[in-house]
Chain A
Amino acid sequence: MLKSVIGAVVALGLGALPVLADYPEKEIQGIIQWGAGGSTDTVARAITPHAEAALGGNIVMQNVTGGVGAIGLNQVADAEADGYSILFGAENPLLYKVMKLGDKDYSDFVAINIIARGVPILVANVDAPFDTFPEMVEYVNANPRAVKFGSTGPGGLPSVVTAMINSKTPLDVTFVPYDGDGPALTALQGGAIDVMPAVLGAAIEGIKGGTMKPLALFDIEASPQLPDVPTIVSTNPEFEEMLPWGPFFGVFVKQGTPDDVVTKLTAAYAEAAKNPDFEALIDGRGFKMLSLSGAEADTFLSEWQATTSWLIHDAGLTKASPEEFGIAKP
């Protein structure tokens, strides 16, 4: 009772203050759509303290997982568009519509910052009887179904990279499903699977330590962290038209958030992305810094959505055609 009285008194006091000029006037809730310890989580938690400093506010981070990230996304989409709920998301929502995982994607949000992009890499168990991508193709063709590829759910990085490979050189392999590239890479090191398409950041330390073997980097240029790993383009130039491609992380607020709030958040995160410590983290983990916002971010998102939706649609992985949602074929 007493508490509510105090509350009412303070509320009256606060009501007298100008509201918008003071954003943020309370804690901001930051929803991370993937679990604690994952790439999205690490990047979100690493950039946010720098953004808090630039913003002069407090962002309370929380992991809301499940439904391939849709639960967290919907939670922000259902909250008020006041800038007090922000979403830390990865690329998955752009495929929700075609995968029938949800009816919302980033077109319902304003991109504050598309922080960084990951680079896909094909890694193999150290004892696998092949060392390069062409050797792998040869071995797979000689031994149909014998090679075990790790996979995660349809629409995830492994499925997209596999779709890319299949669109050029169809492979007859067995897919063993995992619930993320972390567990799959562990299984790769233990020999439960032979090959895994993963994001460089998750595999980089294993490659450096010799517990897994890189086959090919799915990018146009070699990675500065692993200059000796050949790119797929160097052995199979036919892949160039689909690259560069990669998963990404970004910060988003709901569509309809006041402009000055968007401006403040955008400035804060752009500032944070320039922090040397954060840049070192992004480089060290083999990501490519983007730090896109505004129109640049929108173009990036729509191009990404078009390329990937059609790629996995042509691979027969989607539940609805991208055309239904007005996603034009690139």
Chain B
Amino acid sequence: MDVLQSLLIPIIDLKLLGLIALGTFAGIYVGAIPGLSVTMAVSILISFTFSWEVYPALALMIGIYMGGVYGGSRTAILLNIPGAPAAIATALDGYPLAQKGLAGEAIGIVTVVSFIGGFIGILALALFAPLLADFAIRFQPRDYMLLAVLGILLVGSLSGDSLVKGIFAGALGIGLGSVGMDPLTYTERFTFGTDALRSGVSFVAVMIGMFGISEGLMQLHTVNTAAVKQKIGRIIPSWPLVRKHLPLGLQTSSIGTVIGALPGTGGDIAALIAYDHATRVTRNPEVPFGKGAIEGLVAPETANNAAVGGAFIPMLTLGIPGDAVTAIMIGALFIHGLNPGPMLMVEQPDMFWFIVSALGLANVFMLIFGLTGIKMFVKIVEMPRAMLLPVILLLSIVGAYAVSNSLADVYWMLGFGVFGYFLKLYGYPLGPVILGVILSRLLDDNWRRAIISDQESLWMLLKGTLASPLSLVLFVSVVLIFVSKTPLWGMIFRKKAG
């Protein structure tokens, strides 16, 4: 009965309920505005809620977290500027939909599937937390490396017309991700002896530049043509539509939960892997991926919201953060006199159930707030471009600056904006660049750990991979996906030969 009691705490206490609602509402905007991140908001809340009790403080943070992960999709769909890295995959199909006048419908379906994803993640947390945590921490460096390779194979689906240009862009992204002082050995890489490059290139600055600024510059070509008139149709998706995508949504939710539970990977990687999964299992999408496929919205948005529940799994069972936000929450628990660790669930099971319940409520509020006011948001796209563009540009600059109060990031953003603009003009896809940046560290760090652990021997690494069931599954997936994409290779090379 203790469980039920703990679950009821946030529901019957109106103040807690209100705080969760407020947090979720604010979170949607934090997520939507590039440069404001959930990590940042939760850090600020630590100071803000310092003198509060622990439950209200957590209620607000959990609301922000849930709302923020969802909110990133808003600007991704409307403006092609993902509000957060986890919404990058959403922009790939969401923005084309908005360009067809279907922004409202896109936001509607995203809201509903985010709710479904969030729900699956919370369910997994409530029912299988110890089991999943045990599974997640068994991931070895080579498994993380294989996961990164799996993600990188997504370049194949993101490349559009030219695979060579896609691979070039992906490699560029991985290279960008390794700029700066290597955190493992403190070796300088691609810094050319300059101080400015030592801390690396801010990922958010690259993201805002490549998506926001380059898109803004592109639109200047047609600044005086009328904006796309949005169809005011059905916003809440019909049940048949939801049902049709439910099987995919459940699969990608599971992917999101597991990747969220892995320490060291979060919603951004979950969303990309899920998107890749969708491109493979969807036999005949009504609209091709990258041109406005509903499947391309369902997969990343279920996955990144499922990753929220997933990230709490190692945090609450072992005291190991599942991502950056849960890392800060662990700090918050310490400050409030709790000791998150393996004993938390034994000594304070009420905390576990309170968080489960608060997450569930935040998920419901996200659905409610997400579905209201869409028509107002959609109006943004209908504003005259000549008015809208300067505002987007200013917001991009401020966002890039806000990440670490650094003017250097503004120059990076501009530089990558202009570079991204030329890449777009000459037919290079930009998705793989961002993909590369996101996966760079995961790949590089874990490759080095794996090969060091196996005494610098590729043979031993292969032997280890084949001997572990988990590594073997990942390895086989990588090989299968790679081979399944080889016809594409064949086509290109035949064309070259002929």
Residues on A facing B (Cβ under 8 Å) = 35-38, 41-42, 45-46, 48-49, 61-68, 70-71, 74, 99, 101, 145, 148, 152-155, 174-179, 182-183, 185-187, 189-192, 204-206, 208-211, 277, 280-281, 284-285
Contact = CB atoms under 8 A, between A and B. Distances in A.
A190 B470 CA distance: 13
Contact of A210 (B141, B328, B342): B342
Contacts of B382: none
Contacts of B180: 66-67
Contacts of B339: 204-205, 284
B137 A208 contact: no
A48 B47 contact: yes
B479 interface: no
Given A36-B327, A61-B43, A284-B334, 19 more contacts: A37-B328, A41-B331, A45-B47, A48-B47, A62-B405, A66-B200, A67-B199, A145-B455, A177-B184, A177-B185, A179-B445, A189-B137, A189-B320, A190-B137, A191-B138, A192-B141, A208-B342, A277-B337, A285-B334
Interface stretch (B9-17, B80-88, B389-397, B446-454): B446-454
Contacts of A178: 184, 449
Contacts of A155: 186
Contact of B51 (A49, A153, A191, A211): A49
29 contacts: A36-B39, A36-B42, A36-B324, A36-B328, A36-B331, A37-B324, A37-B328, A42-B331, A42-B334, A42-B335, A45-B43, A45-B46, A61-B44, A62-B405, A63-B43, A65-B404, A176-B453, A177-B448, A178-B184, A178-B449, A186-B137, A187-B141, A190-B139, A191-B138, A192-B141, A206-B319, A209-B318, A209-B319, A285-B334
A131 to B, nearest CB: 19
B181 A66 contact: yes
A176 B186 contact: no
B198 A37 contact: no
B321 interface: yes
Interface of B: 39, 42-44, 46-47, 50-51, 137-141, 180-181, 183-186, 195, 198-200, 263-264, 314, 318-321, 324, 327-331, 334-335, 337, 339-344, 346, 404-405, 445, 448-449, 452-453, 455
A192 B184 CA distance: 16
B186 A177 contact: no
B319 A176 contact: no
Contact of A153 (B186, B264, B318, B340): B186
B140 A182 contact: no
B21 to A, nearest CB: 25
A76 to B, nearest CB: 12
Contact of B330 (A37, A183, A186): A37
A182 B139 CA distance: 15
Contacts of B264: 183, 186
B47 to A, nearest CB: 6
Most buried by A among B342, B344, B453: B342
B331 A205 contact: no
B337 A70 contact: no
Contacts of B185: 153-154, 177
Contacts, number: 151
Contacts of A208: 341-343
Contacts of B324: 36-37
A163 to B, nearest CB: 15
A226 to B, nearest CB: 13
Nearest to A50: B50
Contact of A211 (B318, B337, B453): B318
Contact of A64 (B137, B405, B455): B405
Given A36-B327, A37-B324, A175-B452, A49 B47 contact: yes
Contacts of B404: 62, 64-65
A275 to B, nearest CB: 11
A205 B340 contact: yes
A67 B335 contact: no
Contact of B453 (A38, A67, A68, A192): A192
Nearest to B344: A205
Contacts of B50: 45, 49
Most buried by B among A36, A175, A176, A206: A36
Q: Which 8 A-B pairs have the closest CB atoms?
A: A205-B341, A209-B342, A66-B199, A37-B327, A177-B184, A179-B183, A190-B137, A42-B331
Contacts of B321: 37, 182
Nearest to B50: A49
Given A101-B186, A209-B342, A280-B337, A176 B200 contact: no
A174 B328 CA distance: 31
B342 A211 contact: yes
Contacts of A48: 47
A174 B455 contact: yes
B57 to A, nearest CB: 12
Contacts of A101: 181, 186
A99 B335 contact: no
Contacts of A183: 263-264
